Amino acid sequence: MNLTPDSKVLIQGFCEFISGTHIAQMKAYGTNLVAGVNPGCGGQQLNDLPVFDLVEEVIAEFGAIDTTIICVHPFQVLDAALEAIASNIGQIIIITAGVPPLDMVQLLRKAEACETLVIGPNSPGIIVPGKILLGTHPSEFYTPGPVGIVSRSSTLTYEVALELTKADLGQSISVSIGSDAIVGSSFLQWLQILDEDETTQAIVLVGQPGGGSEEAAARYIAEAIDKPVIAYIAGRQAPPGKSWRQTGTLATVVGRDSNFGTAQSKLAALKAVHVPVAERPSQIPELVRKRIN
């Protein structure tokens, strides 16, 4: 994983999922955005970036690319991501929401075979405060520090970061893994990354109803994570059996326990392995301080 200011970054697509403001913010933050890819627009300039028709044309011009940020329409994501993998880009961030699940299954099989890290879809990306911004995180909410954040949500990630910043607790890495029904990298992968990261002293995990990823994370924390973990689960009052539109929850799959995917299930799993759980985001800084002091 290459998350340094020297990392070469490409943007594939310019649609409603990313704006010129986001691109300007990344560049102002020091992210090394080298080009964009938008078929049919080669030779143009969009948002102060040179635009190419193909990823391979960018590589021929600028050399190997470390990360691509995909912002095409949902039904074009698979083709864009496979083009990136074919060009040996090791990190793919998918900002786009609503990618067809079968497309994601096909993409993840290919990504696993090629050892490509996929973040998203429906993700604002990654920020390493003070170093690099890859995506649409509002950088003004972040400051460098010792707390890693891994989240399924987008806006809740920013809210947690702001609460930490106001409490003089900066962040080491913040990532939203995405909240579509099927996403690339998991809580487990990012818990391991943050556990091995030298600048991270504590980890904040932000979950929400739908699926079983938080329950799996709880088991993994008990088995493999050495650093303190603090959790926050949104949607405690969400009606049973109802899905959050952005998560595409699978809580109503036939054969599942009636409690599967609920906030209560996730809270119980985390408490069973003694992970402190905040009742609201404003409590997170206090819980973090108790674990790192």
Q: Is the pTM of this model over 0.85?
A: yes
Mean pLDDT of 117-135: 96
Answer yes or no: same fold for 8-119 and 138-292. Answer: yes
Phi then psi dihedrals of residue 98, to 5 deg: 80, 30
Domain residue ranges of the chain, discontinuous segments joined by + = 8-119, 138-292
Summarised one tens digit per residue, pLDDT across range 200-240 is: 999 999 999 888 999 999 999 999 999 999 999 998 776 66
Angle subtended at Cα 105 by Cα 104 and Cα 106, rounded to the nearest 5 degrees: 90
pLDDT for 15:
79
Q: Are 282 and 163 in contact (CB under 8 A)?
A: yes
Query: Domain 8-119 classified CATH 3.40.50.720?
Result: yes
Q: Are 23 and 9 in contact (CB under 8 A)?
A: no
Within 8 A by CB and 6+ apart from 128, the residues are 3, 172, 173
Average pLDDT over the chain, rounded to whole? 92
pLDDT for 3:
87
Topology of domain 138-292, per CATH? Answer: Rossmann fold (3.40.50)
User: Burial level of 146, CB count in 10 A (0-12/13-18/19+)?
Assistant: middle
Q: Are 212 and 260 in contact (CB under 8 A)?
A: yes
| Tokens linked to 260 | 């599967």
How does DSSP classify residue 12?
A: E
| Tokens linked to 177 | 């893994």
Summarised one tens digit per residue, pLDDT across range 154-207 is: 999 999 999 999 999 999 999 999 989 899 999 999 999 999 999 999 999 999
